[in-house]
Amino acid sequence: MRTYLDCLPCFLSQALRAARIATDDEALIKRVLDEVGRMLGDLPLESTPPESGRRIYQKVGEITGNRDPFRVLKGEGTREALALYPSLKGRVEASSDRLATAVRLAIAGNVIDFGPDRAFDLEREIEMTLENTPAIWDYPAFRDALSGAREILYIGDNAGECVFDRILIEELKRPVIYAVREVPVINDATYKDAVQAGIDQVATIVSSGTDAPGTILHTCSSEFQKLYHQAECIISKGQGNYEALSSERRPIFFLLKAKCRVIADDIGVQEGDIVLKMI
Amino acid sequence: MRTYLDCLPCFLSQALRAARIATDDEALIKRVLDEVGRMLGDLPLESTPPESGRRIYQKVGEITGNRDPFRVLKGEGTREALALYPSLKGRVEASSDRLATAVRLAIAGNVIDFGPDRAFDLEREIEMTLENTPAIWDYPAFRDALSGAREILYIGDNAGECVFDRILIEELKRPVIYAVREVPVINDATYKDAVQAGIDQVATIVSSGTDAPGTILHTCSSEFQKLYHQAECIISKGQGNYEALSSERRPIFFLLKAKCRVIADDIGVQEGDIVLKMI
């Protein structure tokens, strides 16, 4: 997905939010805004938003000296999700279509995101995602793709959300490779976060090698690129991965909640809609 | 009022909105964002937001070549408000405290603002403003100040809103000098807009001389500054005038709706609250 004009003020808002979490020093925060403001002219609309996001969050780290401002929030998100795990499992077990319920829960977990919007109510979000009709629901194709695949590449998004991914992985009944970011960026899941969520018990965790808040292939390791190009079925979670991969020609299923109007428009749905979309 | 960190991303969003109204050329809109982004570092937090807003909207005009992008929207706002005028007058006439109702209506009209937020529903806003309890309501002091003043200086804000100001002016029962911006900036009222709203029938319209979206005194004409310093009672409408005048030591009554969190926090109310506040 290209960068839209509306992304530019959002980049600045995100820089402000991250800088505030990284430091209390107003002068440093102002410097972040000044420098990110100056950077906007160098961000081509042709590049994907996570390419710009990568540079912006690097700048926040560079100026504030805090390379992992979301560390504490990530831990809290995972603990909150783990506390819900038994009841979420119960919902899957009680449902008439376990896989479909697990997909919806995995999408519900995508609300744990400190990038575009920090405010969310996880339990309410779960209820809404289970009740509302998805705007795009390529579920039959998804089920077919799963049954034909020997192994699934599952590209994770945010820490905390991993717990919800684990529930879906447990329903896939196939070997799963779970890809995380190489280093902390926003609240995206790294190896450590995935382990904390218990993903290591249900899948093989690999790093994609990227330091961007989305799977921008040219920033990924050659090992990951090989995995990606060989994968028979790919599950991509969240906006950042959608933004990075939406123009690809691989068997990808995007699971996400459209948390901003720009992405909703790009997909052709309404803001707030939930989506299971085959590429 | 100083500029807060949250104002900086908002400046960029406002520039985007204004640029889009000014032109359809995406390359020009991108240039506006790039240049406004670069300007952020030169906007001191000590200056008031309309001082920065003035430079930003000048930049939008300079790059897009459209110095009055809100012209059509201003005309529509005024026509919409004029259509409501008879029913608004009826509400004042039917109320037990005509002045208080007129004050509330004048505040309701403040929602006609294309700066911080373009989306509003005027009739719904009127109902809410008449029903809800104002967060600050220095009405007894306001009534007293009116009764002791020979003349009132009324500083207008947005076009369209002038129609609502007219209703309040008709209840003041005092000679009123109504100040407008010298040139178009956002959808702020100029002389022409005030006349279109019929203000010339109830007050003497003067230009403050400013080209800023707020009454920044050092940008005002010496004639206006004289009027301002001699005024026994000043009514200041809207956020831009509050931002410019909130640190003054003059007998000012601010009538506004707190349309953003930054201003709400500065005043000490909630976003969306309505306010009649004595300085």
CATH number, residue A81: 3.40.50.10880
Q: Summarize pLDDT for B171-220 with one digit per residue, the tens.
A: 999 999 999 999 999 999 999 999 999 999 999 999 999 999 999 999 99
Q: What is the CATH number of the domain that holds A26?
A: 1.10.8
Query: How far is the alpha carbon of B121 from chain A, nearest alpha carbon, in Å?
Result: 20
Chain B residues near residue A5 by CB distance under 8 angstroms: 16, 20, 26, 29-30, 33
How far apart (Å, rounded) are the C-alpha atoms in residues A157 and A1? 17
Q: Summarize pLDDT for B42-65 with one digit per residue, the tens.
A: 999 999 999 999 999 999 999 999
Could you tell me which residues of chain A have a Cβ less than 8 Å from any Cβ in chain B?
5-6, 8-10, 12-13, 16, 20, 26, 29-30, 33-41, 45
Name the domain boundary from B15, B38, B64: B64
A20 & A153 share domain: no
Answer whether residue A2 is part of any domain.
no
B38 & B160 share domain: no
Contact flag A40-B37 (C-beta cutoff 8 Å)? yes
3-class DSSP state for residue A72? Answer: helix
Question: What backbone phi and psi angles, to 5 degrees, belong to B75?
Answer: -60, -45
Name the domain boundary from B64, B80, B112: B64
What pLDDT was estimated at residue A101?
97
CB pairs under 8 A between A and B: 66
| A69 and A27 Cβ atoms separated by less than 8 Å | no
Answer whether residue B229 is part of any domain.
yes
- Residue A119 pLDDT > 80: no
CB nearest A12 (choices: B12, B29, B39)? B12
Domain of B39 in residue numbering reads as 7-64
B60 & B85 share domain: no
- Residue B120 pLDDT > 90: no
Contact flag A12-B16 (C-beta cutoff 8 Å)? no
B148 & B257 share domain: yes
A55 & A92 share domain: no
Which residues, 6 or more positions from B205, have their beta carbon under 8 angstroms from its beta carbon? B178, B179, B180, B191, B194, B195, B199
- Residue A217 pLDDT > 70: yes
| pTM for this entry | 0.92
B110 & B231 share domain: yes
What pLDDT was estimated at residue B68?
96
B59 & B76 share domain: no
Confidence of residue B117 (pLDDT cuts 50, 70, 90): low
Answer whether residue A266 is part of any domain.
yes
Complex ipTM more than 0.85, yes or no: yes
Residue of B8, B13, B45, B60 to mutate, interface with A, max A Cβ within 10 Å: B8
Residue of B4, B23, B33, B55 to mutate, interface with A, max A Cβ within 10 Å: B33
How far apart (Å, rounded) are the C-alpha atoms in residues A209 and B277? 56
B32 & B143 share domain: no
More confident residue, A219 or A114: A219
What B144-150 contacts at long range (C-beta under 8 Å, 24+ apart), as own/partner pairs, is B145/B232, B145/B233, B145/B251, B145/B253, B145/B278, B146/B99, B146/B172, B146/B174, B146/B233, B148/B232, B148/B233, B149/B174, B149/B232, B149/B233, B150/B174, B150/B175, B150/B232
How far apart (Å, rounded) are the C-alpha atoms in residues A109 and A274? 11
Q: Summarize pLDDT for A160-182 with one digit per residue, the tens.
A: 999 999 999 999 999 999 999 99
- Three-state secondary structure string covering B53-121: HHHHHHHHHHHHCCCCCCHHHHHHHHHHHHHHHHHHHHHHHHCCCHHHHHHHHHHHHCCCCCCCCCCCC
B80 & B128 share domain: yes
What B188-191 contacts at long range (C-beta under 8 Å, 24+ apart), as own/partner pairs, is B188/B156, B188/B157, B188/B158, B188/B159, B188/B213, B188/B240, B189/B74, B189/B156, B189/B157, B189/B158, B189/B159, B189/B161, B189/B162, B190/B159
| B153 and B235 Cβ atoms separated by less than 8 Å | yes
Answer whether residue B38 is part of any domain.
yes
B60 & B129 share domain: no
Answer whether residue B1 is part of any domain.
no
Contact flag A5-B13 (C-beta cutoff 8 Å)? no
| Nearest chain B residue (CA) to A3 | B30
Answer whether residue B2 is part of any domain.
no
Name the domain boundary from A64, A94, A111: A64
Answer whether residue B142 is part of any domain.
yes
What pLDDT was estimated at residue A121?
81
A141 & A124 share domain: yes
Answer whether residue A1 is part of any domain.
no
Contact flag A12-B37 (C-beta cutoff 8 Å)? yes
CB nearest A38 (choices: B9, B26, B41)? B41
Contact flag B37-A33 (C-beta cutoff 8 Å)? no
Chain B residues near residue A10 by CB distance under 8 angstroms: 9
Q: What angle do CA A12, B53, B67 make, to 5 degrees?
A: 115
| A154 and A206 Cβ atoms separated by less than 8 Å | no
For chain A, how many structural domains are there in total?
Answer: 2
Six token digits for residue A41: 């002219």
Can you tell me the mean pLDDT for A205-214? 98
How far apart (Å, rounded) are the C-alpha atoms in residues B270 and A262? 28
Confidence of residue B15 (pLDDT cuts 50, 70, 90): very high
**How far does Cα A94 stand from its chain's mean position?**
27
B57 & B189 share domain: no
